[in-house]
Amino acid sequence: MNSSRLRRALGLLRADREVLLFIAATAMLLVGAAFALARDEELAAGPWIAATALGLAYSTVTIAVALRHHRPSVDVIAWLALVGALLVREPLAGAIIAIMLFTGGLLEARASARAKRELGALAARAPRIARREDHDGVHEIPVTEVGVGDRLLVGAGEIVPVDGRLLESASFDESALSGEPMPVERPAGDDVRSGVVNAARPVRMVATETADRSAYAGVVRLVEQAQASTAPFVRLADRFALAFVPLTLAVSGLAWVLSGDPVRAVAVLVVATPCPLLLAAPIAIMSGLSRASRYGVIIKGGAALEQLAAGRVLLFDKTGTLTRGRPSISEIITADDTDADELLRLSASLDQTSAHVLAAAIVTAARDRGLTLSSASGAEEQPGYGLRGTVDRHVVRLGKAAWILEGPPPAWVRRARRRAALDGSLTVFAAVDGRPAGVLLLTDPLRADAPRMMRALRNAGITRTVLVTGDRADIAASVGRIVGTDAVYADRDPAEKLAIVQEEQATAPTIMVGDGINDAPALAAAGVGVALAARGATASAEAADVVLTSDRVDGLADAILIAHRSRRIARRAAGTGMALSAAAMALAAVGLLTPTLGAILQEGIDVAAIAMALTVLLPGRTHTVVLSEADLAAARRLYEQHTALGPLIEQVRAVADDLSGSRPDLERLRELLDRLELDLLPHERAEEEQLLPIIARALGGPDPTGAFSRTHAEIEHQVRRLRRGFDDIGEEPEPDELTDLRAGLYGLYAIMRLHNAQEEENAFSLL
């Protein structure tokens, strides 16, 4: 039996033990009550004494465990109350106290088991079999035998066995990893994670990871680690034991001395049993862990949840945290007589055969533009250089500049290199039939939801945000300005990141967010380390206290809100219960409560405190915005159009660049204006009519769509202005006419870029 199974078995045994003890004590109480109703006090005392003795044995064991761990425990009060009940011949009070103890143990075990069950359900459904497709057909193989580059077939309703890239569009149920209840549409070329369920027709994919390195295997390991690393919850009552136990003994002793009646002392001990602290706080905390798991957040224990609630300074890594962590095409620069879409189509057709991360970005870009890809033949990797193959009878090469270019670089190459240097872009050069044809520029784009997430985190109680990255200072500063961080530290290695975390930790409780191996030391040093494990488990996830299993960083804001609410309710439930217990202690001290009545009253106080603690499971304030199915469908349709129009924005700048030459291509400008009027403006009007009401309903507040309406109007105004300027020029335009047109195009480009960024942040990120 492996360690995870052994832990689960021990957990079941503990839960069963609590149930048996509770049933036994309750049965003894009822048997004694039956004898008491028959007016046989002597027979009634027997079962009640037995129940009291059982509780005494149980509390003795819990105190011994606390002593072994050098931890004070308020269970000593319950132990003294049980002993006192026997000495003053109040066996009914002792039986009620015993049931009280067993009820607490049972509820605590059940709350812990529920949280572990919801997390462990992920591990129970791990894929075991994959269907590999080759020239002999489709064969079932153990998932452990899947290799990178294998073509797999995933049937309808089946679990995706390993991480991969789709060869055709599909719909997936991703609720097991992300908590998202609605099926998610994934286009061909998109990445898909293991553990999600194919919600539509059979789909083909290419494996990009082996089973042990895939996302779902990482989640399973994280669940096992969370269960193994979560120490038994140190009950809130134990933190007050050093003060509370002497206080209770003093009040009890004083009542005895002043009245000369030991029964009063026992009554004080009975009502002083701090069950609201023993039960309410752990139940609230464990309920918070359970609720966080529904949002795709694994919190490794109650201590981590409390530290998450206490966090005030938030430190971020950049790559994969504030940015998407995977490249996408930002621009295509081609030789003078090469069409950008055709170059992308040929490149993506060849890259379909590759599992390289840049290949996935190129294929996805072609699919987004609606390009029809062809099959590639003779594809072969040239280690250290790139990929070569034949597509539609054209020999295509993709890779480094040294493999593509010969001789002095032409102007388009110099322009591409200059832009790549300014934007920090990667470059993939392409040649067709032995001739350099263009270069694809790829960047790691900012997460659309990152600025909204930062605002949500501030609303959740974060007072300072810090960006810590190993990237260049200019790129880091740009990202920091866009998302709104308070400080930026760039060009930092893991040791320097660790030092920054320790420096911030000295001033306020910290939360560190990262997803790479180089983040692991900083995550371990922070008050709370938060890792993104959506693309598999890494050293960062192993070192973290909190793990986000979905690829949405704004889940952290929800987790912090849940942590705040859980801690607040835990304190409120415990404080209210203890205040009522203190009042009962006063009544018992002056002789107004007997031990039996005190035990019954204390049981009622316990029930009230536990009921308050369980309110954590009720829906509370979160950052997540829920759209109706109709709004979701409309927003997704507009987002598809929004994505498809992305290349048109880059075409605006490309046409503006061409107008600077001595022989401007006016026909290209005419075609651009036609596309802007026929494609872009109808889309902007559709957004005005359909998307803005969705945003208003989702976000609420005063005029959340005013800025969008203003930029829609400005875009249409600029397009109309460009059309008038173009219609007014002759066949031989004057230099100042070209200058005005070029300035108008650059202005339109800037407005469209800003507008698209705003829409992706405040509208489409809601998807």
pLDDT one-digit tens code per residue, 722-752: 999 888 887 778 888 888 898 999 999 999 9
Of 167-181, 544-558, 621-635, least confident by mean pLDDT is 167-181
Contacts of residues 244-250 at CB distance under 8 Å and 24 or more positions apart, as own/partner, are 244/74, 244/77, 244/274, 245/72, 245/74, 245/76, 245/77, 248/77, 248/272, 248/585, 249/80
- Within the chain, all domains assigned CATH 3.40.1110.10 are found at 328-443
The three-point CA angle 24-30-32 to 5° equals 100
pLDDT of 466 over the 90 cut: yes
Q: How far apart are CA 465 and CA 123, in angstroms?
A: 35
- Over residues 553-599, the pLDDT tens digits come to 777 888 888 888 888 888 888 888 888 888 888 898 888 988 888 88
How confident is residue 154, by pLDDT bands cut at 50, 70 and 90?
very high
Q: Which has more pLDDT, 702 or 373? A: 373
- Within the chain, all domains assigned CATH 2.70.150.10 are found at 129-219
CATH topology (fold) of 295-324+446-562: Rossmann fold (3.40.50)
CATH class of 129-219: mainly beta
pLDDT at 390: 92
Torsions phi, psi for 30 (to 5 deg): -70, -40
How confident is residue 674, by pLDDT bands cut at 50, 70 and 90?
very high
How confident is residue 535, by pLDDT bands cut at 50, 70 and 90?
low
Give me the mean pLDDT over the 499-514 stretch: 89
Give me the mean pLDDT over the 369-373 stretch: 85
Average pLDDT, the chain: 81
pLDDT at 537: 44
Cα-Cα end-to-end distance for the chain: 43
Q: How far apart are CA 276 and CA 278, in angstroms?
A: 6
Partners of 173 in the beta sheet? 197
Q: Which residue has the tokens 């009940």?
A: 85
pLDDT at 541: 61
The alpha helices in 369-448, defined as continuous H runs, are 401-404, 411-423
Give me the mean pLDDT over the 84-103 stretch: 84
Of 157-161, 435-439, 693-697, least confident by mean pLDDT is 693-697
Question: Pairing between strand 464-468 and 487-489?
Answer: parallel
Could you give the strand order of the β-sheet that contains 386-391, starting from the edge strand earlier in sequence?
Answer: 328-334, 435-443, 426-432, 394-399, 386-391, 376-382
pLDDT at 206: 92
Token code pair at residue 560: 């912090």
pLDDT at 17: 76
pLDDT at 465: 92
pLDDT of 237 over the 70 cut: no
The residues near 385 (Cβ < 8 Å, ≥ 6 apart) are 399, 400, 402, 403
How confident is residue 395, by pLDDT bands cut at 50, 70 and 90?
very high
pLDDT at 275: 64
Give me the count of residues in the chain: 767
| CATH number, span 629-766 | 1.20.120
pLDDT of 662 over the 70 cut: no
Q: Which residue has the tokens 């039939």?
A: 433
DSSP annotation of 677: I
Give me the mean pLDDT over the 11-35 stretch: 77
Is residue 631 among the annotated active site residues? no
- Over residues 166-186, the pLDDT tens digits come to 888 888 877 666 545 456 778
pLDDT at 673: 92
pLDDT of 396 over the 90 cut: yes
pLDDT of 205 over the 90 cut: yes
The residues near 257 (Cβ < 8 Å, ≥ 6 apart) are none
Report the percentage of the chain scoring pLDDT > 70: 85
Q: Which has more pLDDT, 208 or 515? A: 208
Q: Which has more pLDDT, 450 or 518? A: 450
Q: How far apart are CA 673 and CA 680, in angstroms?
A: 10
CATH class of 328-443: alpha beta
The DSSP secondary structure of 200-254, one letter per residue, reads SS-EEEEE-S-GGGSHHHHHHHHHHHHHHH-PPP--HHHHTHHHHHHHHHHHHHH
Q: Which has more pLDDT, 665 or 463? A: 463
Q: How far apart are CA 113 and CA 474, in angstroms?
A: 49
How confident is residue 188, by pLDDT bands cut at 50, 70 and 90?
confident
How confident is residue 508, by pLDDT bands cut at 50, 70 and 90?
very high
Question: Pairing between strand 510-514 and 528-532?
Answer: parallel
pLDDT of 549 over the 70 cut: yes
Q: Which residue has the tokens 């839960």?
A: 15
Q: Are 58 and 98 in contact (CB under 8 A)?
A: yes
Report the percentage of the chain scoring pLDDT > 90: 13
pLDDT at 12: 45
Which one of 317, 519, 551, 631 is the catalytic residue? 317
